[in-house]
Amino acid sequence: MAHAIVEYTDNLGPEADIKGLLVEIAKTMAETDGIFPVGGIRVRAIKLEDYVVADGAADDAFVNIEVRMAAGRPEVFKEQFFDALFEMAKTHFAPIAAKRFFALSMYVQDLPAQSYKQNNIHTRFA
Amino acid sequence: MAHAIVEYTDNLGPEADIKGLLVEIAKTMAETDGIFPVGGIRVRAIKLEDYVVADGAADDAFVNIEVRMAAGRPEVFKEQFFDALFEMAKTHFAPIAAKRFFALSMYVQDLPAQSYKQNNIHTRFA
Amino acid sequence: MAHAIVEYTDNLGPEADIKGLLVEIAKTMAETDGIFPVGGIRVRAIKLEDYVVADGAADDAFVNIEVRMAAGRPEVFKEQFFDALFEMAKTHFAPIAAKRFFALSMYVQDLPAQSYKQNNIHTRFA
């Protein structure tokens, strides 16, 4: 079970290809030999329309990725996997970061202990 | 003080009756003999319009409920209350889960220690 | 690096001046002698269009502010800074709280240990 939420400022425009990023994140998670079961992958975007970045003086843009997953993945896996995921995100936005003020961030944490789930999507991959 | 945020994919359509779910969650919280003071209940939905679920190949849908409350409720209450709340949510979505790929999740956690509040809604229930 | 997310119910209308609040939050964070580097400030709003507050019987409104920052700021700074920030928010909404049912809350927490960032906005303030 893995959740990713991608917040992005709407001044990025279509060049940011947010849908493409969501597809890449989901695909990267799916290619982990079952460490992230495919049926549990849920990646979504939130478009931000109202924001103030830094001193508010420039057309600054940002993308913030929050990842939450059930506890229990080995620390060494998490470090390697998310290092690679962030490299992928940096590559995705490299053309944008090369020409405008842009901040990219990603935060990874475990889901709370008190969790509930029901999911029939897993049956498609059983 | 209890917060609930219901994220839902917009491919669910009106059959999901998200507003009905919000009403049910708020009502269930209100019927706890003051453990969740009525004036502090804040339940809201976030409609997701951009997402990739599982392998992205099917019209998968999901609902994710995040609950946050001030620390201090007894563990036994939290277990019983949220078990029942999740059963209610499963019942709410049973017709949908019976006919399409659908994932439902709920995560419960305490609010941070550094919290601030001002709320005159409580005066209506004093 | 400081993130703030302001959720607000859309029944507040334009009188709430949410954009003005975002500007005030960003400005307050910027005036901390570098404790919050200006280039890392990211303040945004989420408009809530679907919600149930308290018993759902009245036109209750709420604003919820979530602040997340990299760990390491001194506790005494955090207490003083966020006490003042919340006072500012209360003042901002005082005309609204004086005439309708309204709840204001703010939660402050550190970002997860597993964090990633790339940010060229800092170069503008170097």
CB A71 within 8 A of CB A97: no
Residue C68, classed as helix, strand or coil, is strand
Q: B120 is written with which tokens?
A: 């005159």
Total-model pTM:
0.97
Q: Closest Cα to residue C69, out of C104, C17, C103, C25?
A: C25
List chain C pLDDT tens, one digit each, 126 residues: 799 999 999 999 999 999 999 999 999 999 999 999 999 999 999 999 999 999 999 999 999 999 999 999 999 999 999 999 999 999 999 999 999 999 999 999 999 999 999 999 999 998
Q: Give residues 42 to 81 of C whose Cβ lies within 8 Å of B.
A: 46, 48-56, 58, 60, 62, 64, 78-79
For A27, counting Cβ atoms within 10 Å of its Cβ (0-12 exposed, 13-18 middle, 19+ buried), the class is middle
Question: What integer pLDDT is reported at residue C126 of this predicted model?
Answer: 85
Is this complex scored with an ipTM above 0.90?
A: yes
Question: What integer pLDDT is reported at residue A7 of this predicted model?
Answer: 98
How many angstroms away from the CA of B77 is the closest CA of chain C?
20
Nearest to C44 among A50, A104, A108 (CB): A50
CA distance A89 to A67: 13
pLDDT tens, A10-58?
999 999 999 999 999 999 999 999 999 999 999 999 999 999 999 999 9
Question: Residue C39: closest CA among chain A residues belongs to which residue?
Answer: A54
Residue B64 with chain A: CB contacts under 8 Å: 3, 42
Q: Phi first, then psi: what are they for B87, rounded to 5°?
A: -60, -40
CB of B107 less than 8 A from some CB of A? yes
The secondary structure of B45-73, three-state, reads EEEECCEEECCCCCCCEEEEEEEEECCCC
pLDDT band per the 50, 70, 90 thresholds, residue A1: confident
